[in-house]
Structure 1
Amino acid sequence: MSIESIIQHYGLIALFAGAGIEGETVVVAGGLLAHKGLFPLPGAMVAAAAGSFVADQIFFSLGRYFRDKPWVRRAREKPVFERALGLLERYPIGFIFAFRFIYGFRTISPIAIGTTKVSTKLFVMINLVAAIVWGIVFTGIGYLFGHSFEKLIERFLPDKHAILIVGGVIVAIALLLGLWHWWRGRRTQAA
């Protein structure tokens, strides 16, 4: 089975999961792959929006139902949690709509919102609209700038194997940084 057929077969499922876990980078890459014709643009947009919506609903529910658990209490100690609550108090509907577009707020905000008195119905409605807009915007960026991105890659990395190697190195570095950050956080909490 070729790489293209694997991406065609699992691409939208991977995009769905990546939109919920990683966010913009995966969704822009999904738009780029749609530009290359590996799957349809509307499918990529739906997968991105759905993945984002589902992940945020899960995080909101975790905040709502586990607000007194130690891991949520540790999250409350983070400065970004307090900033999220402050923005929520000042601009409740605007913040619920916009948190996914603000760097550093994407994962912690739905948990923070879940610990407040914001109704589940209100969060679901605003989260759905925001996820649809977000999925369309970021997938569209990848799709619209796909040709320019391909040209840039061809100019600086004409060898496709070099692109795979660079991509692999970037993923490995990101994983190592993530593990280091997780380990450091666990060590700090234990102290």
Structure 2
Amino acid sequence: MTDWTQHLAAFGPVAIAFGAAIEGQTSVVAGGIMAREQVLSPAVVVLAAALGSGIIDYLLFAMGRSFRHTRWVQKTTSGPAFGRALALIERYPSGFILSFRFIYGLRAAGPVAVGVSTISTRKFAILNAIGAAIWAGAFVALGYAFGPVVMSVLERAFAHAAPVAAGTAVIAVVVGVAVWRWRVGLARQRGAR
């Protein structure tokens, strides 16, 4: 195992959990690719992603429940996504909790909306854990399934990265020198007047 893969194996689960909490799907799909490349166990990747997603969504739920009258919660509740979330919660409370991670625009507003609703904390906690596991499993599976395609694209891109980076650096230096000389020339013209 190279140093790079050792670092990924050591810190990958933490990065995946953090990415799942903050960013969402991209880090979880990347975790699936790491599982496909046998850097991490698929079970570890799913667990890390589910924990990251589940914890942040529970915290957002708790904020909605405990701080309903704060500026941040009121700002979140004033958006159009919040109104859609409340309508869905009223019609399909369990289904909404299990699926809001998959609905674009409801990732942050969804748990806050559940927090200001009348759904019990216990019900949310159980369904949130199940929903986080389903979501994590689905996106890890996508990364695992499409890992070879992604890796081949990355390998081709990195094969040409050094010449492209060198060419870009040369162009940047030439343009920088040209702009600098042009500005010096303008300054001299202004000084001569």
What is the TM-score with the length of structure 2 in the denominator? 0.79
1:43 deviates by 0.5
Match of 1:95 in 2: 96
The 10-residue stretch of structure 1 (34-43 or 154-163) with the greater mean CA deviation from structure 2: 154-163
Long gaps (5+) in structure 2: 166-193
Cα distance, 1:87–1:74 mapped onto 2, change above 3 Å:
same
Instruction: Measure how far apart 1:87 and its partner are.
Output: 1.1
Task: Give distance in 1, aligned partners of 2:37 and 2:25.
Answer: 18
1:98-153: CA deviation from partner (whole Å, max 9, x where unpaired): 10011111111101110111100110111111111111110111011101211233
Kept after mapping to 2: 8 A contact 1:157/1:163: no
CA distance in 2: counterparts of 1:9 and 1:157, whole angstroms: 24
Which residue of 2 is the match for residue 116 of structure 1?
117
Residues 34 and 159 of structure 1: CA distance in aligned 2, closer, same or farther (over 3 Å): farther
What is the Cα deviation at residue 83 of structure 1? 0.9
CA shift, 1:37, in A, is 1.7
How many residues align? The count is 164
Structure 2 CA distance for partners of 1:3 and 1:157, relative to 1, 3 Å: closer
- For residues 54 and 159 of structure 2, the distance between their equivalents in structure 1, rounded to whole angstroms, comes to 37
* Aligned equivalent of 1:20: 21
The answer (yes or no) to whether the contact 2:77–2:109 under 8 Å persists in 1 is no
Inter-CA distance 10–72: structure 2 relative to 1 (3 Å threshold)? same
Secondary structure of the corresponding residue to residue 145 of structure 1: helix
Cα distance change, pair 161–114 in 1 and its aligned pair in 2 (3 A): farther
- Quote the Cα distance in structure 2 between the aligned partners of 1:150 and 1:28: 12
What corresponds to 1:59 in structure 2?
60
- Alignment partners' CA distance in 2, 1:57 and 1:110: 7
Q: Tell me how far 1:155 sits from its aligned partner.
A: 4.2
Amino acid at match of 1:119: S
Q: Which residue of 1 aligns with 2:129?
A: 128
Distance between the aligned counterparts of 1:10 and 1:70, measured in 2?
A: 35
Q: 1:184 maps to what in 2?
A: none
Q: In the aligned structure 2, how far is the partner of 1:16 from the partner of 1:156? A: 27
How far apart in 1 are the matches of 2:164 and 2:53?
28
Q: How far apart are the structure 2 equivalents of 1:86 and 1:163?
A: 51
SS of match in other structure, 2:159? coil
* CA apart distance, 1:160: 5.9
**2:147 aligned partner:** 146
- Cα distance in 2, alignment partners of residues 109 and 125 from structure 1: 16
- Residue 22 of structure 2 aligns with an amino acid whose one-letter code is I
Give the direction of change, closer, same or farther, for the CA distance of 1:78–1:20 in structure 2 (3 Å limit): same
Name the residue aligned to 1:10. Answer: 11
Which runs of structure 1 show a deviation greater than 4 angstroms over 4 or more consecutive aligned residues? 160-164
Structure with bigger gyration radius: 2
